[in-house]
Amino acid sequence: MIEEIIKKTEKGVLIDIEVTTNAKKNEIGKINKWRKRLEVKIKEQPIEGRANKAILKFLKEIFKTDVELNPVTTSPQKTVLISCDTKEYVVNILKREIKSV
């Protein structure tokens, strides 16, 4: 299932996510198998780009590398670019972080 939400590109690895704001804590949820997106929960509210900044900071801490929104959007459905060389790097971290694979 993880393989369905990530794609390798020249710049890194893209992950399709769905963001829930106003969460109790920042965390990686599960994979939504119908939308084929990884649930990411963020404490911040979606006001003036604060939630987007919180997403980037949170994912940067998890992946220990640069992360960017691709493209920046106000929708809860987003795609993030993880700066890394291999899909396996992302898959291994997601297997550790996802609530129920």
Confidence (pLDDT) at 101: 41
Confidence (pLDDT) at 99: 62
DSSP H helices, 1-100, are 2-5, 50-63, 87-97
Confidence (pLDDT) at 100: 46
Confidence (pLDDT) at 73: 80
Confidence (pLDDT) at 74: 80
Which residues of the chain, if any, have pLDDT below 70? 99-101
Burial class (CB in 10 A: 0-12, 13-18, 19+), 38: buried
Domain spans, the chain: 2-97
Q: pTM, whole model, 2 decimals? A: 0.90
- CATH number at 2-97: 3.30.1200.10
